[in-house]
Structure 1
Amino acid sequence: MGLGWFPKTPGGLERYVYDLTHTLAANHDRVELCGIDLPEVESNYPIKLTNLASANDSILQRFWSCRNNFRKTRGEKPDAINLHFALYSFPIMDILPKDVPITFNFHGPWVSESEQEVNQQKLSNFFKKWLVEKRTYQKCDRFIVLSQAFGKILHQQYEIPEEKIHVIPGGVDTQKFAPRLSAQEARSRLNFPLDRPILFTSRRLVNRVGIDKLLNAIALIKPRIPDVWLAIGGRGPLEAALQQQTKELGLENNVKFIGFLPDEDLPIAYQAADFSVMPSQAFEGFGLALVESLASGTPVICTPVGGMPEIVQQFSPELITSSRSENAIAQTLEDALLGKINIPSRSECRDYTTTNFNWDKIAQQVRTVLLSK
C-alpha cells in the first residue's frame, strides 16, 4: 500500500515505492501496488496496480473508497503485506488477512511534518497521530526505517519496541543516475553557465528544506566567490517568497529558479553541478537526493539533520555543515568551492553509491524483512 504514483507525484515516498516494487518484480516476485490515483496500465505491466481512490475526494470519501475498493479487489492471499502511508492503510487494517505478517515502512512522522509545512488545527493533529498513525502502527508486526535517526523517532514518539525496527537505507537507480556526461556537456544541455562554479538543489519549496538559509549563505559567500551560481529545482508554496528574498539579497545574477525538472533531466542537473546541496532544517529521514547526486558523480554538501549524516559521514564528513545555520552552510560552501577541504572525485562518489545504495541490494534486504516470520 503506497500513496500516489511516481513520477506524476514526485515525492520521496512515491519514488521509493516505485523503485522497490519494480526491483522486486524484476527479480520475479509477484507484486501488487495499491494506492491513490494509480494509472491504468497494460496487462503485461510488471506489477499489478490497484487504484483505490482519487486524491481530489475528501478524506472521508477517500477512506470509504479505499476500504470498499480494497475489499472488492482481493484475490489470493499474499505472502507479505508492506504498508507505506498510514492514512490509506488505516481503513483496511481489519480487512487484511490475520495470518500474514505486516511490515510498515515508516517514512517520517506525518503529524510533525504537517506542522512544519502548514498551520494545522490541534483536532487535525490529534486525528492524524492518535486515531490514524498510532492505531495503524499497533497492528503492524515490524517496521522498516531508512535511518537510525527515524528509528529513534519511531521508538520515542510512537512507542514502537526497538526489536521491531529494522534500519535499511533507501536505494538509487544506479543505471539512471550515472555520470555519463562531462560537466560542460550537462551544462550545455540545460543552458547552465559554462564557466561558473555551480551548486544545485532539488527540493519541494517548503519551510523544512532550508532554501531560505541557503540563499542567505550564498549572499554571505558572494563577496569572496562573486561568480557562484545556484540552480534551484522544484516548486512549492514558498516559491514566491524565496524569489522575493533572492531579489532583496541582490542575488538575481547568482540564483535561478528552474521550476519542476522533468525526471529525465534530473541526472543531467546533478552532473552539471560542482556540488549539490541539501540545507534541510528538519525531518530528513534519508535524503534520497544525496545518493542520486553521488550516483551521478557529484559530491553533496548537507546539514547535520535526520538521516543525512549517516550517508555522508563515512564518505566525506567535511561536507557536513557544523550546524543548520546559514553561517555554517556558508562556511562549508566556501571551503568546498575554494578547495580548502578534501573533495571526493566523480569515480569515488559513484563507487560509494553503487556499493552501498544499489536498489538490487536494498530490495533484497527489504524482501528478507517482509518475509520473515
Structure 2
Amino acid sequence: MGECKLRQRCDCERDLMKIGLVSPYDYTHPGGVTEHIRQLGTWLRQLGHDVRTFAPSSRRDAEIDTPDFYRIGRVFSLPANDSVARITLSFHMARRVADILESERFDVLHFHEPFMPALPLTLLPMSHAPHVATFHAFAKSNLGYYYGRPILKQYLKHIDASIAVSPPARDFVQHYFPRLEPRVIPNGIDVERFRPGQTPIHHLRDNCVNVLFVGRLEKRKGLPDLLRAYEYLQQRVPRSRLIVVGDGPMRGKLDSFVSSHRLENVVMAGYVPDQVLPRYYSSADIACFPATGGESFGLVLLEAMAAGLPVVATEIPGYMSVVEAGTDSVTVRPKSPGELGLALTVLARDAMLRRRLGEAAQAKAQRFSWREVAVQVIEVYQEAREASRAAGDKEPEQSVHHSLPSVG
C-alpha cells in the first residue's frame, strides 16, 4: 500500500508544471481570448500547476497586478475582423522578456494567437521551453496571414503542438499554414457560475418575455438586425423586452434606432461586472446572438446554455460548432431580421418549447466545463514536451520544483 501511495505521489509531482500563458491582447479590456486565458489559468492552478500570464495592459488593475502577471508593452487599438484589436506594437521588450524567461524556467509556454504582434512574436524565438499555440480566430480572410506568410512560416518551427477552439478556427489557420495540425479543444464554461436559478435583476422580472443579448456592440455582432427583429416581435408579443448587455462603438447608433423607431421596453444595460452577469442570464427567457460572421466559437452561447436558456443564433460556422438547431436552439440565416423576428416570436409564444430547448442546452453545456477543457489542454502540454524532447533542438530544461505537500 505504501508503495502504491508513493507511486501516485511521484506521478503527481512529475505531471505538475510551471506554465506561462501568453496573450497579445490588452488584459484589462473585456474579450473572448482574454476571458479564455483567465479561466484556463484559474483551472490550471486548481489542478495544481504554477501559472504566470504575459500580456499588455492599458491600465493598472488590482485584480491582475499580482506576482503571477507580467505586464508587457504599451497598448494600441487597431481595426481587425470587423472589430478592434488592442495589442502592443512595441518590439523593444526583448531584454525584459529574456530576464523573465531566465528567472522562471517554464516547463511550457502557451501562446494564444501566436502570430499576432508583438508579444507572442517576441517570445516565441527567445524561449527554449516547449511551446503550445492556440488559434482562436475565424474570418473570411486574413491579410496579415496572407502577406506575412513568408515571414510567419519561420515561426512554425518554434511551435511544438497546437490547438484550435473550433473546427472553423482550425480550418482557417490551416488554409494559410497547412503544416499545422491543431487539435480541436473548445472554449470552456464555468457551469457553476452560470447555473440556472440565480437571483434575477429585480426590475426585469415581471410578466414580460425577456430577450437577452450579451456582447460587444460592434458591426459583426448583428445588433441592427436584432433591433429590427425585436420590432417585429413587439408588434406580435407586446409584453416582451429586449435587454442588451455590453458596450462598444455602435452604442450611439443603436440608441438612435430605438428612439427613432419608438421601440418600447429596450434596456441598454451597458457594461456589466462579471459577478453580476449571471443574474442577467437568470432574468432572461431567451438568449439571442445574431452575429453576421467572424466568430470562431461563441462563448456567450455557452454561457446562455449553461444558464438553461434557449438560444436563437445565426447560422455562422463558429456558432454552429456549438449549437444544434431544433435540439438546443433555433437558428436563422445571418443578416435576416425577418427570420430572426419570427424565431423570437415562436419562442416567446411557446413556454414549453423554451423549456425543452433550455434543458437540452444546459445538458450540453456540461460537456464544455472548464475542468474537462483544462485536462485536455494539459494533455497537449505533455505532447508538446515530448515533441520538444524528441526534436532535440532546444536547450535542456532545468527541472522546476513542483511538488504536492507531503502525505502523512
State the TM-score, normalizing by the size of structure 1.
0.83
**CA 1:64 to 1:173, structure 2 compared with 1: closer, same or farther past 3 Å?**
same
2:164 is equivalent to residue 150 of structure 1: no
Q: Using the alignment, how far apart are the partners of 2:325 and 2:106 within structure 1?
A: 38
Q: 1:223 aligns with which of 203, 225, 235?
A: 235
Q: CA deviation at 1:76?
A: 4.7
Q: CA deviation at 1:216?
A: 1.0
Q: Using the alignment, how far apart are the partners of 1:13 and 1:270 within structure 2?
A: 21
SS of the aligned residue for 1:194 comes to coil
Q: Using the alignment, how far apart are the partners of 2:274 and 2:159 within structure 1?
A: 34
2:205 is equivalent to residue 212 of structure 1: no
SS of the aligned residue for 1:94 comes to helix
Match of 1:160 in 2: 178
The residue identity in structure 2 corresponding to 1:32 is R
SS of the aligned residue for 1:319 comes to strand
Offset from partner CA, 1:71-127 (integer Å, 9 cap, x none): 121225322221013222012222111xx43221111158958xxxxxxxx8xx589
Q: Using the alignment, how far apart are the partners of 1:17 and 1:235 within structure 2?
A: 21
2:342 is equivalent to residue 331 of structure 1: yes
2:72 is equivalent to residue 72 of structure 1: no
Q: Using the alignment, how far apart are the partners of 1:42 and 1:202 within structure 2?
A: 23
Match of 1:170 in 2: 187
**CA 1:337 to 1:137, structure 2 compared with 1: closer, same or farther past 3 Å?**
farther
Q: Using the alignment, how far apart are the partners of 1:325 and 1:341 within structure 2?
A: 25
Q: CA deviation at 1:249?
A: 2.2
**CA 1:314 to 1:247, structure 2 compared with 1: closer, same or farther past 3 Å?**
closer
Contact 2:74 2:90 (C-alpha < 8 Å) held by counterparts:
no
State the TM-score, normalizing by the size of structure 2.
0.77
**Structure 1 range deviating more: 135-144 or 64-73:** 135-144
SS of the aligned residue for 2:304 comes to helix
Equivalent residue pairs, number = 350
Match of 2:75 in 1: 55
Match of 1:2 in 2: 23
* Aligned pairs for 1:120-135 within 5 A: 129-130=148-149
Contact 1:304 1:324 (C-alpha < 8 Å) held by counterparts:
no
**Structure 1 range deviating more: 192-201 or 57-66:** 57-66
Structure 1 gaps, min length 5:
114-121
Offset from partner CA, 1:47-67 (integer Å, 9 cap, x none): 822222232699998423442
SS of the aligned residue for 1:285 comes to coil
2:179 is equivalent to residue 179 of structure 1: no
Match of 1:249 in 2: 261
Match of 1:11 in 2: 31
Q: Using the alignment, how far apart are the partners of 2:289 and 2:98 within structure 1?
A: 42
**Structure 1 range deviating more: 34-43 or 169-178:** 34-43
Q: 1:269 aligns with which of 280, 285, 300?
A: 280
Contact 1:39 1:51 (C-alpha < 8 Å) held by counterparts:
no
Match of 1:90 in 2: 121
Contact 1:147 1:285 (C-alpha < 8 Å) held by counterparts:
yes
The residue identity in structure 2 corresponding to 1:106 is F
SS of the aligned residue for 1:33 comes to strand
Q: Using the alignment, how far apart are the partners of 2:127 and 2:147 within structure 1?
A: 21
SS of the aligned residue for 1:257 comes to strand
Q: Using the alignment, how far apart are the partners of 1:332 and 1:57 within structure 2?
A: 36
Q: 1:199 aligns with which of 211, 222, 237?
A: 211
2:303 is equivalent to residue 286 of structure 1: no
Q: 1:238 aligns with which of 214, 226, 250?
A: 250
The residue identity in structure 2 corresponding to 1:69 is R
**Structure 1 range deviating more: 201-210 or 342-351:** 342-351
Offset from partner CA, 1:248-307 (integer Å, 9 cap, x none): 2221x1322111011111100001000111111111111111111111222221111132
Q: 1:34 aligns with which of 38, 51, 54?
A: 54
The residue identity in structure 2 corresponding to 1:64 is F
The residue identity in structure 2 corresponding to 1:102 is H
**CA 1:223 to 1:13, structure 2 compared with 1: closer, same or farther past 3 Å?**
same
The residue identity in structure 2 corresponding to 1:298 is L
Q: Using the alignment, how far apart are the partners of 2:185 and 2:133 within structure 1?
A: 12
Measured on the aligned residues, the alpha-carbon RMSD in Å equals 3.1
SS of the aligned residue for 1:235 comes to coil
Q: Using the alignment, how far apart are the partners of 1:127 and 1:322 within structure 2?
A: 29
Contact 1:66 1:92 (C-alpha < 8 Å) held by counterparts:
no
* Aligned pairs for 1:103-118 within 5 A: 103-109=132-138
**CA 1:226 to 1:350, structure 2 compared with 1: closer, same or farther past 3 Å?**
same
Match of 1:81 in 2: 109
**Structure 1 range deviating more: 146-155 or 318-327:** 318-327
Q: CA deviation at 1:350?
A: 2.8
Q: CA deviation at 1:144?
A: 1.1
